[in-house]
Structure 1
Amino acid sequence: MNSEHIVKSFDEELQQLNTVVLRMGGVAEAQFAGAVDAMVRRDSALAEKVVKGDEAIDQMDLELDEDAIRTLALRQPMANDLREVISALKISSDLERIGDYAKNIAKRTIALNQLAHHEAVRSIPRMAKLVQAIIKDVLDAYANHDSNRALDVWHRDEEVDEMYTALFRELLTYMMEDPRNITPCTHLLFIAKNVERIGDHATNIAETTHYLTTGKRIEGGRPKSDTTSFQVVEPEDNQDAQDGKKKEGV
């Protein structure tokens, strides 16, 4: 096999990794959009579809892991090529987690639909719309190796945190006003936290994309405006934590 053919086949392998990442990104976007739509429309059937659809993202994540490990073992890439492979691995992991959080939103929606409609639901779609735009932009940044766009996404995470903090306070107020609001607002708190965490993973992808493109880390600490953990114990989705431990073999 001549060197030209080796280089061509290696380029094709790197392109395949890129293609799988972008395909995963498209599915993760659709899963998140479907979960939010199911919540707004109180559509349990759609929510169930989102829950079942998570398997597709998991399968693509496994496929990419295997391809990346094979490429590392056989090609022993260096410099830019090594960053391409490692970045694909890291981004696929973030996309897999986005899929998990979308699944959790769908599960909470199914539970929420068993209760009377609560007006606080209206506050979540605005936050979700911002996160959806961030996911789209960061995937475009990755596809085009656009470090400036990735940096813009990185800065927008602060806006998501501010919206989450405001929503957190709003839901706590509802619960203090009437004990009957506690159950639906608890589900909405979990949903809001999942949306915020999806934003965090999109920001992770922005950091990885910037490093992939420039070879440099983004300087300074990540801008954060989520102050809820300083007020009360922050809600954490136990099912999500359990799912994560299972995937990590804990």
Structure 2
Amino acid sequence: MSKHLQRDLENLNTELLTISSMVEEMIDKATQALAERKHELATQVVESDSFVDQREVHVEEECLKMLALHQPVAVDLRRIATVMKVNNDLERIADLAVSIAQRALAMDEYPAFPIPERLSRMVVLTTQMVRGTMDAFVNADNAAARRIMAMDHEVDQYNCDIIAELQNLMQKRSELVSPALHCFSAVRHLERIADHATNIAEDVVYLVEGDIVRHRNHSSEQSPSS
């Protein structure tokens, strides 16, 4: 690898970590706004989206320049391809955080609506997946990536359980249908964030092993050395 390519790859990693840090903060604020009815946090999340959009475009442009200028091969090519895919997933996660924040704003009118208790655990798991998958990317840790891929099944189960709870609530208390639907949407957005974290983990496996593992069942995924 030339020193110029190495420098550009390091700059890409720095850019991606900047985006990741902002996205994690957006998730934290959006879910806190939903659970604690904090209007100002939800507004901050919505306002942060333009920053992530701008950085996402910049990273993609830099990747395309590197492909044209350096014509990388093997692992260097895989790294740039992985950065482009991770970059896109982070932008989508930011969009979903904004959607959660918007649902939180809509629920301001219903301060007495009971947020499902299991939602807090789902938030913790999903946040762990996003943070952990970026750590796996930085450290090229395919074993950690595979563990994160396996966590998605648990988030999916929380999604099903909470939605069933909300449906039962709507059947019993018709006056709570509107806030329950907003909460329903927020839960689905959170589940989609976990899906994007899984996508990033799959990209880490591709980066390290050169193996495309999309569309496989990861519920019992193990690292090759385990």
Give TM-score scaled by structure 2 length: 0.93
**Aligned mates of 1:8, 1:175 — CA distance in 2:** 61
Q: 2:213 maps to what in 1?
A: 218
The change in CA–CA distance for 1:173 and 1:223 in structure 2 (over 3 A counts) is: farther
Which runs of 5 or more structure 2 residues have no equivalent in the other structure?
Answer: 220-226
Q: 1:191 maps to what in 2?
A: 186
Contact 2:53 2:91 in 1 (8 A): yes
The alpha carbon displacement at 1:121 in A equals: 4.3
The alpha carbon displacement at 1:118 in A equals: 1.3
**Aligned mates of 1:64, 1:219 — CA distance in 2:** 23
Give TM-score scaled by structure 1 length: 0.84
Q: 1:123 maps to what in 2?
A: 118
**Aligned mates of 1:202, 1:57 — CA distance in 2:** 16
Contact 2:59 2:87 in 1 (8 A): yes
Q: 2:79 maps to what in 1?
A: 84
The change in CA–CA distance for 1:80 and 1:37 in structure 2 (over 3 A counts) is: same
Matched, 1:206 2:201: yes
Contact 1:120 1:171 in 2 (8 A): no
DSSP-derived class of the 1:119 partner: coil
**Aligned mates of 1:27, 1:116 — CA distance in 2:** 28
Write out per-residue CA displacement over residues 154-179 of structure 1, whole angstroms, 9 at most, x where no aligned residue.
11100000010000100000000011
The alpha carbon displacement at 1:126 in A equals: 1.6
Structure 1's consecutive aligned runs of 4 or more residues displaced over 6 angstroms after TM superposition are: none
- Give the 5 Å matches for 1:45-84: 45-84=40-79
**Aligned mates of 1:88, 1:33 — CA distance in 2:** 23
Q: 2:149 maps to what in 1?
A: 154
Contact 1:40 1:121 in 2 (8 A): no
Q: Which of residues 11, 22, 29 is equivalent to 1:34?
A: 29
Matched, 1:145 2:148: no
* Higher mean displacement: 194-203 or 6-15: 6-15
Q: 2:131 maps to what in 1?
A: 136
Write out per-residue CA displacement over residues 55-96 of structure 1, whole angstroms, 9 at most, x where no aligned residue.
111111011011001001111111101001010000000000
Superposition RMSD on alpha carbons, in Å? 1.4
